[in-house]
Amino acid sequence: MTSKHLLATLCAGLMSLPALASPEAELLARLRQDYPGTQWDSVQASPIAGLYEVTTGRNLVYADLSGRYVLFGHIWDMPGQRDLTAARKADLARVADVDARLPAEDALVVRRGPSPTLRVAIFSDPACGYCRRLEQTLNQLPQLEVRVYLTPLQPGGRPLAEAIWCAPDRGEAWLDQMLRSQAPQSAACDTAALDRNLALSRELGIQGTPTLVAPDGRVMAGAASAPEIVAWLGQATAMETAR
């Protein structure tokens, strides 16, 4: 065999060898094998040497390479005063392609002023006290357009949500209920949108109301203050005033 043929044979043999799995892939396979009842989605190196970040749905934990030791907690960058785990969870919760994922036809729209410059989507429940508090806060923001996805999770929320959805002016009926405690008159209509909203909230990992979704997909749970909401939305792309 010539040296040329020998080199070709060696190269072919090397190419036929199975690729070595990365440490991250090995850990993911080990976790899935040892704990099949848990959803293990991905593994990547963490900022701490020897510790790996493991995503499980929209949550994350940390594990050593053996998979025997798992840490539930937050990693802080002390000099930078940043909660790195919270930042990663926010990334995991982000909604991709908001306009496509959140259908406009399943929301009622409230415009606080004639030419809103910011917009936000909110999963909200007319029987939710924190949702009522949030609406009182949003009422202070005339530059805001709000898409409300009625998501009746609270006891008694479904009849109220149906009455609001079936009202001639959904936006006004929503404000009557949330700001003035004036329940709309019951009426019959197709309320399948409420079921779609409930299903969508589960798919997005939304566990409670109110939950806000910015145009860039970032998610905020709870009733924040007006300055906090404006600052948070200011990180997203402002809507065109002609919209």
Cβ of 131: how many Cβ atoms within 10 Å? 25
Q: What letter would DSSP give residue 125?
A: -
* Cβ proximity of 210 and 130 under 8 Å: yes
The 10s digit of each residue's pLDDT in 29-42 is: 999 999 999 999 99
pLDDT at position 14 is 46
Spans of the chain, pLDDT less than 50: 14, 17, 237-243
Q: What is the pLDDT of residue 99?
A: 87
Q: At what angle do helices 129-138 and 170-180 cross, to 10 degrees?
A: 110
pLDDT at 242: 35
Per-residue model confidence (pLDDT) at position 18: 52
Helices 129-138, 226-233: axis angle to 10 degrees equals 70
Q: 3-state DSSP call for residue 70?
A: strand
Domains of the chain: 17-93 (3.10.450.70), 98-233 (3.40.30.10)
209-219: per-residue pLDDT in tens? 999 999 999 99
3-class SS letters over 27-53: HHHHHHHHCCCCCCCEEEECCCCCCEE
How high is the pLDDT of residue 200?
95
pLDDT at 239: 39
- Concatenated DSSP letters for 108-124? EEEESSSS--EEEEEEE
Contact 50, 27 (CB under 8 A): no
DSSP string, 143-212: TEEEEEEE---STTHHHHHHHHHTSSSHHHHHHHHHHH--PPPP-----HHHHHHHHHHHHTT--SS-EE
